[in-house]
């Protein structure tokens, strides 16, 4: 039942847990989502009913799992955590569902990777709290129906477009999009994390780390930790802006937070494909990256920066990307306009 996202290192996972906000006040930003959730929770509590099923979507590291934990805390309920790829067989889901206690929250991360057969078992469980299990094979097969306790499913995905319409329609409590954070919000997150980790950090260093954090809390926390290591090895009592710049430069994270692979993707589009458009499949082959990794990990931030556009004919590098990487731009991506 472990979360099995290969893109999140074990080290990041334990850091996630240490720094996870323990209450709403510590959860910075995403104000509209928080407001809506608080109303849903209060209304359900007043009616003495479980909160309806919820879906969170948005790029990795923006706080979807954290929200599920905050909701469970507010409801004083248990949260059982699993993920789409971890539920391989119908029996896996049946065992998870039949082990729920009344009021529990079931959190399914990467729900877009749930297989179709399992999705279909989930529908009646979500709608009428019943689990239909087929026993036996052939003519002697029969269906038994188990009643499940009241529970709330909270699902998270980075790829909402891959969710089937029937599954999406089952999230009766609502579907909430998490957005990238502002630089100011990321600064607050860094200051809070520095306090928890006992790092004496200068304001200039907070700003420097924030600028390079891809507007993403998980990245901010990871970079802060790397800067702390650097300051410690340099025998400095505090993390100064100069130390942060040196640490981040050494990690080859540029002033806008681009890492080696981001730059490589853009450089390939510019140098090999004349700026694009280039199809995702071709781009994946040319960069030796997985298609899914390009789409889920790199593209959201490159698009947020306005460096990359997805067009019906493929990916295109924008004038801004040319400028940032020091290429001269002749405006050949004209069909973007």
Task: Kindly provide the residue ranges of all beta strands, DSSP E only, lying in the chain, ordered along the sequence.
Answer: 54-57, 79-83, 105-109, 130-135, 142-147, 152-157, 174-177, 308-311, 314-317
Nearer to ligand ADP, 78 or 130 (CB): 78
Q: Binding to ligand ADP (CB under 6 A): which residues in 40-69?
A: 60-66
- Does 218 bind ligand ADP (CB under 6 A)? Our answer is yes
**Member of 21, 173, 257, 275 binding ligand ADP (CB under 6 A):** 21
Alpha helices for 79-115 (secondary structure H): 90-98
Q: Which residue reads 């407001």 in tokens?
A: 35
Task: Find the shortest distance in angstroms from Cβ 58 to ligand ADP.
Answer: 7
* Stretch of residues binding ligand ADP (CB under 6 A), selected from 14-22, 110-118, 237-245, 324-332: 14-22
Catalytic annotation present for 287: no
Neighbours of 259 (CB within 10 A): 17
Nearer to ligand ADP, 26 or 202 (CB): 26
Using CA atoms, how far apart are residues 68 and 97, in angstroms rounded to an integer? 17
- Does 28 bind ligand ADP (CB under 6 A)? Our answer is yes
Catalytic annotation present for 157: no
- Does 179 bind ligand ADP (CB under 6 A)? Our answer is no
- Does 189 bind ligand ADP (CB under 6 A)? Our answer is yes
* Stretch of residues binding ligand ADP (CB under 6 A), selected from 12-20, 42-50, 290-298, 304-312: 12-20
- Does 277 bind ligand ADP (CB under 6 A)? Our answer is no
- Does 114 bind ligand ADP (CB under 6 A)? Our answer is no
Contact partners, residue 2, CB within 8 Å, separation at least 6: 83, 86
Nearer to ligand ADP, 152 or 221 (CB): 221
Catalytic annotation present for 65: yes
Catalytic annotation present for 261: no
Using CA atoms, how far apart are residues 86 and 97, in angstroms rounded to an integer? 14
CB 238 within 8 A of CB 231: yes
Using CA atoms, how far apart are residues 6 and 241, in angstroms rounded to an integer? 32
- Does 84 bind ligand ADP (CB under 6 A)? Our answer is no
Neighbours of 91 (CB within 10 A): 10
- Does 19 bind ligand ADP (CB under 6 A)? Our answer is yes
Using CA atoms, how far apart are residues 294 and 52, in angstroms rounded to an integer? 33
Type and span of the H or E element at 212 = none
Neighbours of 137 (CB within 10 A): 7
Tokens of 224: 């802060």
In the bound state, the residue with its beta carbon closest to ligand ADP is 63
Catalytic residue among 66, 104, 109, 318: 109
Nearer to ligand ADP, 77 or 158 (CB): 158
Catalytic annotation present for 109: yes
Residues with a known catalytic role:
64-65, 109, 158, 218
Note the residues at the interface with ligand ADP (CB under 6 A).
16, 19-21, 27-30, 60-66, 156, 189, 217-218, 221
């Amino acid at each position: 039942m472990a979360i099995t996202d290969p893109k999140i290192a074990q080290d990041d996972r334990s850091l996630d847990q240490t720094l996870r906000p323990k209450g709403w006040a510590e959860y910075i930003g995403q104000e509209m989502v928080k407001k809506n959730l608080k109303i849903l929770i209060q209304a359900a509590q007043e009616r003495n009913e479980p909160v309806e099923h919820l879906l969170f979507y948005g790029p990795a590291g923006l706080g979807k799992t954290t929200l599920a934990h905050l909701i469970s805390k507010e409801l004083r309920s248990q949260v059982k955590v699993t993920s789409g790829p971890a539920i391989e067989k119908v029996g896996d889901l049946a065992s998870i569902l039949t082990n729920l206690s009344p009021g529990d929250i079931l959190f399914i991360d990467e729900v877009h990777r749930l297989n179709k057969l399992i999705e279909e078992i989930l529908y009646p469980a979500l709608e009428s709290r019943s689990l239909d299990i087929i026993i036996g094979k052939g003519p002697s097969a029969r269906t038994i129906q188990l009643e499940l306790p009241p529970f709330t499913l909270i699902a998270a995905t980075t790829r909402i477009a891959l969710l089937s319409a029937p599954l999406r329609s089952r999230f009766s409590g609502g579907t909430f999009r998490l957005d990238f954070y502002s630089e100011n919000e990321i600064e607050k997150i860094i200051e809070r994390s520095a306090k928890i980790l006992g790092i004496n950090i200068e304001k200039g260093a907070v700003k420097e780390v924030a600028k390079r954090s891809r507007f993403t809390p998980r990245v901010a926390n990871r970079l802060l930790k790397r800067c702390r290591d650097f300051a410690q090895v340099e025998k400095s009592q505090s993390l100064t802006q100069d130390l942060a710049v040196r640490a981040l430069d050494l990690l080859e994270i540029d002033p806008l937070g681009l890492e080696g692979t981001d730059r490589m993707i853009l450089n390939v589009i510019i140098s090999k494909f004349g700026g694009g458009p280039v199809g995702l499949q071709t781009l994946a082959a040319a960069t030796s990256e997985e298609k899914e990794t390009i789409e889920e990990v790199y593209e959201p931030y490159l698009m947020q920066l306005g460096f990359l556009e997805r067009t019906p004919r493929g990916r295109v590098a924008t004038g801004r990307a040319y400028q940032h990487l020091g290429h001269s731009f002749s405006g050949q991506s004209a069909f973007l306009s």
